[in-house]
Amino acid sequence: MDLEALYRDLHSHPELAFAELRTAGIVADHLTGFGLEVVTGIGGTGVVGILRNGDGPTVLLRADMDALPVREETGLEWASTQTVVDETGATVPVMHACGHDIHITCLLGAVEALADSRSEWSGTLVALFQPAEEHGGGAQVMVEDGLYEKVPTPDVVLGQHVTPLPSGMLGAHSGAAMAAVDTMEVTLHGRGGHGSRPETTIDPVVMAAATVLRLQTVVSREIAPQDTAVVTVGSLHAGSANNIIAPKATLGISMRSFSEEVRERVLGAVDRIVRAEAAASGAVEEPTVKFGERYPVTVNEPEATARVTAAFTSEFGEDRIFDPGAISGSEDVGNLATAAGVPLVYWMLGGGDPATVAAAMAAGTVDTDIPSNHSPYFAPLAQPTIDTGVRALVVAAREWLTEH
């Protein structure tokens, strides 16, 4: 299989959460071609391939499939020009701005390699291709759709995520590896009217502006310096014209934390501030709060993580293995392991150009010169990223699959 061609095709044809129909079809076709038993439609568009190869442990390898509503600016020949109508009815651009196309490609490559070498191991391989990691909590949706009634329950869950770190590097952090996330949409209710007569209105734009500024004090003034939390207002929507005071404003808020205590403190502070600013503005209606994605802390089981790290060191050499530390980004892969009651190991896969990353690190300009995940300029190197990712999945899986 030409993995680079597959990657370019997937990159050119991204699909949003729960709409990964083309992607799921490609995945199912390849899994069938490798001789796997294939189950489709789990959690909507989820696809699972099962390779039963005698007695032994069951290993689940996971990749996510969805893209983001981002307009691509990479300039690649295979850059996405796709637009779709999203769930709100708006036409939006779509891009694999988080590297899920790399994840799909690597997992398919690993499945092919394991299928071709089945005479060397025994056990059961479960290759899970998940919808809606970015929006919709696809892992939990698959679980609630009877995932482990339809496919074998694993003894371990393994996966990886591409990052801007140098291509060819690998690293897993033991324990709390990625933050919990709580997202909410808050609607502040004012009273609309003419822009020339603000005294007859309750201005939700002012209310929203005050709320945004006040929310910046949650981490700086309510969370201890030794703890970690993030509060981000990622969207603010209000009004339709410059001479109309709107009746409402909507904020999109994302919160990250690494412990339940800090998580509850942040959630409580955000809720208090939102309601207090509404009251201070004279709002006649309480804010409306609607929660979105709520993923727990991604926890790498220490013993299993040490086992994978040792295998990576033996395969790739010590100079290519690193500990990325705890990452403030979030993932829902842990729900697959929690539902099965088994260990999780989730590692970072470097995808950045090594020379460019090294130069930026030397100049202290990584934040400005190296596009991060979700950036319209995020474009992992195809190689050696794909080769490393395939080998990493195979090596990690073989740590559990019984040798013949």
| Gap between the Cα atoms of 396 and 5, Å rounded | 25
Does 11 belong to an annotated binding site?
no
Q: Where are the domains of the chain?
A: 3-179+297-403, 180-294
The CATH class given to the 180-294 domain equals alpha beta
Does 106 belong to an annotated binding site?
no
| Gap between the Cα atoms of 148 and 156, Å rounded | 13
Judge if 3-179+297-403 and 180-294 fold alike in CATH terms: no
The predicted pLDDT at position 402 comes to 83
Among 352, 391, 384, 355, smallest CA distance to 4 is for: 384
Active site positions, annotated: 66, 133
Start-end of H helices in 73-162 = 100-116, 138-144, 147-150
Query: Looking at domain 3-179+297-403, which of 3.40.630.10, 3.50.50.60, 3.40.50.720, 3.60.10.10 is its CATH number?
Result: 3.40.630.10
Contacts of 169 (CB under 8 A, 6+ apart): 320, 321, 322, 348, 349, 350, 388
Does 112 belong to an annotated binding site?
no
The DSSP symbol for 373 reads T
Residue 390 near residue 162, CB atoms below 8 Å: no
- Give the pairing of strands 244-245 and 344-352: unpaired
- Cα–Cα distances in angstroms (integers) from residue 247 to residues 251, 271, 273, 279, 384, in the given order: 14, 21, 20, 15, 53
Does 100 belong to an annotated binding site?
yes
Q: Which structure tokens are listed for 102?
A: 């790399």
| Gap between the Cα atoms of 231 and 229, Å rounded | 7
Residue 125 near residue 53, CB atoms below 8 Å: yes
| Mutual angle of helices 100-116 and 21-33, in 10-degree steps | 10
| Gap between the Cα atoms of 274 and 254, Å rounded | 14
pLDDT, one tens digit for every residue, the chain (404 residues): 999 999 999 999 999 999 999 999 999 999 999 999 999 999 999 999 999 999 999 999 999 999 999 999 999 999 999 999 998 899 999 999 999 999 999 999 999 999 999 999 999 999 999 999 998 899 999 999 999 999 999 999 999 999 999 999 999 999 999 999 999 999 999 999 999 999 999 999 999 999 999 999 999 999 999 999 999 999 999 999 999 999 999 999 999 999 999 999 999 999 999 999 999 999 989 999 999 889 999 999 999 999 999 999 999 999 999 999 999 999 999 999 999 999 999 999 999 999 999 999 999 999 999 999 999 999 999 999 999 999 999 999 999 998 76
| Gap between the Cα atoms of 212 and 270, Å rounded | 10
Residue 24 near residue 138, CB atoms below 8 Å: no
Residue 27, CB-side half-sphere exposure with 13 Å CA sphere: 36
